[in-house]
Structure 1
Amino acid sequence: MFNKVVLVGNLTRNIEMRYGQNGNAIGASAIAVTRRFTTNGEKREETCFIDISFYGRTAEVANQYLTKGSKVLIEGRLRFEQWSDQNGQNRSKHSVQVENMEMLGGNNPTQGGNFGNSNYENQSYDPYANQNNFEKTPQRMQNSNQNQEKIKEIDVDAYDSDDTDLPF
C-alpha cells in the first residue's frame, strides 16, 4: 500500500506544541490549500482546510520558525482519527502526519528554507505565487522571463468520463 500526501499552503494558526510521556515533541496546526481553476470561462477557487501533526525535531523546528500565515510545503501520510465527543457521539476525521516539510515564501529571512543564507533564491512550488518575493537584477529578470513557459489552463469539466485522449 502507498500513502503519500504532498501539500503546499498556508498555516491557519500557530503551532500548538505539547510533549508526550516519553518527551517527544508533538505539534498541531492546520493548513489551507487553495485550488484555482476555470469553469465555463469563470475563474473560481476552492480552499481545503486540513489538520496536520508534526513529531519530534520537525515539530520543534516548525514551532520555532512557522507562524499563522506561513507558506509551507509538507509531505506526509494521511491518517484517519476516531473518537467519541462529550455527548457520546462517534466522530472521525482525516489529517496529515507530516514527515518532511519545507518553509516557502515570505519576506522573513527565516522562511524559504534558507534560514537567512542569501546565496540561495527563494523558490516556491506554488505556480500562483507572486514571483516578486525577492530582488532580481535586470539581467536575471530578463533571462527569467525568456525561459518561463506559459502554462495552459485545462478545464477538467470539459472532458468526458472515459480515459481516452487525456491532455496530461
Structure 2
Amino acid sequence: MVSYNRVILAGNLTRDPELRFTQSGVPVCEFGLAVNRVRSKSEEVDFFDVTAWRELGETIANYKKKGDPILVEGRLQYRTWEAQDGSKRSKVDVVADNVQFLGRGGGEGEGSGRPRRGGDDVEFSEKDFDDIPF
C-alpha cells in the first residue's frame, strides 16, 4: 500500500503570523488561512491552522500580515493532547514546507509589507535552507 500526504492551499491570512521558539530555540510560526470555496451561487470559506518551522517560519512572520494572500504547500498532521480539564482533544493542522507569497493584484508593494519585484511572486522552501545547520 502506498501512502501520500500532500496539501496545497491558497488563501488569505486570518491573523498576523505568531512567531515563537521551542525550548531548544527552534523558530516556529503559526497562522490561520482562509480559503474561499465557490459552490454554484454561494461562496463558503474553509479555515485552516498552519505551522511553519525554522527559517521558513521566520520569513513568513517577517513579511506577511493579516489579510495577505499566500500559497502553502505541505502535509496534514494529526495531533492529540489532554486539555486542562482532563478531556482529550485532537486537531488536524497543515505543516508548511513550501510557501509562495502572492500579490494582491494592486500597485507596487501593495499589502505585502515589502517591495515587489516587477509583480513577481516570491517563493520560499525548507530546501532553500538545507545548508544551514539546525
Shorter-chain TM-score category? 0.7 to 0.9
Contact residue 35 and residue 47 of structure 1 kept, 8 A: yes
1:84 maps to amino acid: E
SS in 1 for 2:23: coil
Pair 1:111–1:98, CA change in 2 (3 A): farther
Structure number with bigger Rg: 1
Aligned pairs, how many?
117
Q: Deviations over 1:81-109 (max 9, x none)?
A: 11111211101110100000001122462
Q: Deviations over 1:16-56 (max 9, x none)?
A: 11112332210011101111021xxxx01111111000101
Higher relative contact order (CA 8 A, sep 6+): 2
Structure 1 segment 99-138 matched on structure 2, within 5 A: 99-106=97-104, 107=106, 109=109, 115-118=115-118, 120-121=119-120
Uncovered stretches (5+) of structure 1, i.e. residues with no partner: 123-168
Give the one of 79, 83, 86 matched to 1:85.
83
In the TM superposition, structure 1's runs of 4+ consecutive aligned residues that sit over 4 Å from their partners are: none
Mapped partners of 1:58, 1:87: distance in 2: 34
Taking structure 2 as the reference length, the TM-score comes to 0.79
Identity of aligned residues (%): 34
Mapped partners of 1:50, 1:97: distance in 2: 11
1:62 maps to amino acid: I
Q: Does 1:56 align with 2:58?
A: no
Which residue does the alignment assign to 1:22? 24
Mapped partners of 2:42, 2:111: distance in 1: 29
Which residue does the alignment assign to 2:129? none
SS in 2 for 1:13: coil
Which residue does the alignment assign to 1:67? 65
Taking structure 1 as the reference length, the TM-score comes to 0.64
Q: Deviations over 1:91-135 (max 9, x none)?
A: 1110100000001122462877x95222x456xxxxxxxxxxxxx
Mapped partners of 1:26, 1:111: distance in 2: 23
Which residue does the alignment assign to 1:32? 34
Mapped partners of 2:81, 2:99: distance in 1: 28
SS in 1 for 2:25: coil
Contact residue 65 and residue 111 of structure 1 kept, 8 A: no
